[in-house]
Structure 1
Amino acid sequence: MKILQKTEGKIYSFSPEHDPIYRAKDGESLTIETFDCFTDQIKSEKQPLADLDWDKINPATGPIYVEGAEPGDALKVTILAIETDVLGVMMVGPGLGTLGEQVEDMKVKVMHVRHGRVLFNQLSLPVRKMIGVIGVAPAAGEVNCGTPGPHGGNMDNKMVAEGATLYFPVQTPGALFALGDLHAAMGDGEVSVSGVEVAGSVTVKLEVIKGMRLEQPILENGRYFTQIASAETLDEAAKIATDLLVNRIATYTNLKFEDALMLMSAVGNVEICQMVDPLMTVRAVFPKSILDQLETTLLP
């Protein structure tokens, strides 16, 4: 299996102008190493933060050209495994996150990650490995890796974990896939502006779904089908995600729109992924157990 080292190529934006560091065959599995969101600059709580290069935030390893991917297709990304480093970093600072106005000074916390636990002060927290930045290039221009959108990007969705499968709208030849910003743990909202940031590696399988047109990324795992959406406000993102999911339910079942909407209201959830990036990200979540009763899937 091909291993892409993080030193082979890192990007700080998604763009069709980036040269690919690797050409993957349709259906190929590969392992992608990543820097942490600070490009591995922080090693100690004592080092001066003024020394950090703040232009080197949220790098993604890539991009990867996927053979056969064309605009109008979807890129299917199955997350087979996530491995994290043994050192995790968190940060708070004035003006950052949801309560940044109450923070007086920049503060960094460095934590050990081992034996399935994160050591936070005297507390032992469970490791919940996930990917913060993952996606494909937009059709034109560039999107900073810190910003989410229809292309994916910095969605900071804790369901982007081992066993999940994502679908991204291909907007440029080859899709130009990249990922980074791993977390050993992160709660919904990412309220302080960081999770437990770690370097590591991710093993994925990349597949092209021809003719599968999407407006925003989709995620599914063994229990749930979810529609992800990002927008300027949480309200707008929630409406987009719910609209896309309910209409998909109506399309792939014999339910009328009104019944699909009521069913979503009865058994589905609308959940915050993150509320600290330039755009807010929300997921609309529907249980697959109900789809089993309906004897359907929500994919072509």
Structure 2
Amino acid sequence: MKTITRNYITNMISKENPPCDRISAGEIVAFETYDCFTNQFLPEEATFENVVRLPGNPATGPLYIEGALPGDMLKIDILDIEMGPVGIVMLGPGSGSEKEEFSRKVLRRVPVKGGYAYFNDKVKIPVRPMIGVIGVAPAGDGISTITPMDHGGNMDCTQVKKGASLYLPVFAEGALLSMGDFHAIMGDGEVEDCGLEIEGRAIVRVSVVRNKNCVSYPMIETEDKLITIASREAVEEAWRAAARQMYDFLKEKVGMDYEEAGMLLTMTGDLAICQTVNPMKTVRMELPRHITQSYGFDSISVE
């Protein structure tokens, strides 16, 4: 198994980035990542006053996948997410839903061990590790690792977790996959600028999907959910886009008519805000997979 180390990081996802390595479709590979602060705040003496932050979320990569071409999708099976021993949570002016309330930036180092984040001597929180930034090269100009769009990027979606399969549309030859910005735990919405930011190592299987189920936006399959993801300038625009994507997918790929799709979505579908703090806001639409399976549709990767 190849390992993509933290020697190869970028803060711009672009087709101009030279690949740091190549794999064949279907291979398993490990990505080692910094936290979103490039580990600058892990030392006890580090503060916002004495550290000059490096730009962007450092994403490890890019990785070239042999045979991936524009119009395909990458299927990224997340086999495991390993975390470092300490996470960082911060808040302060300039970002988050209550940014006016905080006069200065503050941070806390939170120990992570035995499946829990120990916030203080009163509160320990079960971890739910996830990948915040994961994306492929967009078709046009490069996009900052802070910004999510249809190529993926900084979606901060809690469902990008162990056991899930993330599908990303391919816009450039080789796809050029990068990832980083892991969280030990994060609430849906990410209302105050960040989750529990942590360094880590993800083990993934990367395959190429080339069939009639391919779409031009990110999707996820978990054990029990089919998910569309949309990022737009405003939350309302994003939820409308995520719902429209699900409608279109159910009609064009699963074979439902709009009336049945609408009834099933309003009865069983869930809209969830992924994040509200990035330049584009991200919302996902979830539908139980047993519904699409009842129509004979099992998986995006199966035609």
Please tell me whether the aligned partners of residues 245 and 284 of structure 1 are also in contact (alpha carbons under 8 angstroms): yes
Q: Which amino acid is the alignment partner of residue 222 of structure 1?
A: E
**How far apart are residue 290 of structure 1 and its match?**
1.9
1:34 and 2:46 aligned:
no
Q: Which amino acid is the alignment partner of residue 261 of structure 1?
A: G
1:24 and 2:14 aligned:
no
**How far apart are residue 121 of structure 1 and its match?**
1.6
Q: Where does the alignment leave 5 or more consecutive residues of structure 1 unmatched?
A: none
d(CA) in 2 for partners of 1:148, 1:238: 14
**How far apart are residue 252 of structure 1 and its match?**
3.6
d(CA) in 2 for partners of 1:227, 1:109: 33
d(CA) in 1 for partners of 2:147, 2:255: 37
* Superimposed CA distance per residue, residues 255-297 of structure 1 (whole angstroms, 9 cap, x where no aligned partner): 3212211111110111100011000000000001222333323
**Larger displacement relative to structure 2 (245-254 or 133-142):** 245-254
Please tell me whether the aligned partners of residues 69 and 75 of structure 1 are also in contact (alpha carbons under 8 angstroms): yes
**How far apart are residue 153 of structure 1 and its match?**
0.3
d(CA) in 2 for partners of 1:222, 1:298: 11
1:6 match: secondary structure: coil
**How far apart are residue 149 of structure 1 and its match?**
0.3
Please tell me whether the aligned partners of residues 68 and 208 of structure 2 are also in contact (alpha carbons under 8 angstroms): yes
Q: Which amino acid is the alignment partner of residue 143 of structure 2?
A: V
In structure 1, the partner of 2:224 is 223
d(CA) in 2 for partners of 1:50, 1:298: 50
Matches within 5 A, 1:83-232: 83-122=82-121, 123-211=123-211, 213-232=214-233
d(CA) in 2 for partners of 1:253, 1:127: 35
d(CA) in 2 for partners of 1:51, 1:24: 41
Please tell me whether the aligned partners of residues 272 and 282 of structure 1 are also in contact (alpha carbons under 8 angstroms): yes
Please tell me whether the aligned partners of residues 40 and 53 of structure 2 are also in contact (alpha carbons under 8 angstroms): no
* Two-structure CA RMSD over aligned residues (Å): 1.4
d(CA) in 2 for partners of 1:142, 1:293: 40
Please tell me whether the aligned partners of residues 82 and 202 of structure 1 are also in contact (alpha carbons under 8 angstroms): yes
Matches within 5 A, 1:31-110: 31-44=30-43, 46-110=45-109
User: Structure 1 vs Structure 2: percent identity of aligned residues?
Assistant: 39
**Larger displacement relative to structure 2 (50-59 or 229-238):** 50-59
* Superimposed CA distance per residue, residues 177-225 of structure 1 (whole angstroms, 9 cap, x where no aligned partner): 0000001000001111110000010001111112554221000110100
In structure 2, the partner of 1:270 is 271
d(CA) in 2 for partners of 1:198, 1:296: 37
d(CA) in 1 for partners of 2:144, 2:207: 25
Q: Which amino acid is the alignment partner of residue 284 of structure 2?
A: R
Q: Which amino acid is the alignment partner of residue 70 of structure 1?
A: L
Please tell me whether the aligned partners of residues 45 and 109 of structure 1 are also in contact (alpha carbons under 8 angstroms): no
Please tell me whether the aligned partners of residues 165 and 219 of structure 1 are also in contact (alpha carbons under 8 angstroms): yes
Please tell me whether the aligned partners of residues 216 and 229 of structure 1 are also in contact (alpha carbons under 8 angstroms): yes
d(CA) in 1 for partners of 2:254, 2:215: 18
Query: Paired residues, what number?
Result: 299
In structure 1, the partner of 2:284 is 283
TM-score, structure 2 as length reference: 0.95
In structure 2, the partner of 1:236 is 237
d(CA) in 2 for partners of 1:153, 1:183: 15
* Superimposed CA distance per residue, residues 104-158 of structure 1 (whole angstroms, 9 cap, x where no aligned partner): 1110100100000001022111111000000101012111001100000000000
d(CA) in 1 for partners of 2:11, 2:46: 24
* Superimposed CA distance per residue, residues 67-86 of structure 1 (whole angstroms, 9 cap, x where no aligned partner): 10111111111100000000
1:195 match: secondary structure: coil
1:245 match: secondary structure: helix
Q: Which amino acid is the alignment partner of residue 75 of structure 1?
A: L
Runs of 4+ in 1 over 6 A off after TM superposition: none
Please tell me whether the aligned partners of residues 24 and 65 of structure 2 are also in contact (alpha carbons under 8 angstroms): yes
**Larger displacement relative to structure 2 (51-60 or 116-125):** 51-60
2:49 match: secondary structure: helix
**Larger displacement relative to structure 2 (72-81 or 40-49):** 40-49
d(CA) in 2 for partners of 1:38, 1:296: 41
Q: Where does the alignment leave 5 or more consecutive residues of structure 2 unmatched?
A: none
In structure 2, the partner of 1:297 is 298
Relative to structure 1, the CA distance from residue 104 to residue 46 in structure 2 (aligned partners, 3 Å threshold; closer, same or farther) is: farther
Q: Which amino acid is the alignment partner of residue 127 of structure 1?
A: V
Relative to structure 1, the CA distance from residue 253 to residue 140 in structure 2 (aligned partners, 3 Å threshold; closer, same or farther) is: closer
Relative to structure 1, the CA distance from residue 77 to residue 254 in structure 2 (aligned partners, 3 Å threshold; closer, same or farther) is: closer
**Larger displacement relative to structure 2 (45-54 or 183-192):** 45-54
d(CA) in 1 for partners of 2:173, 2:109: 40
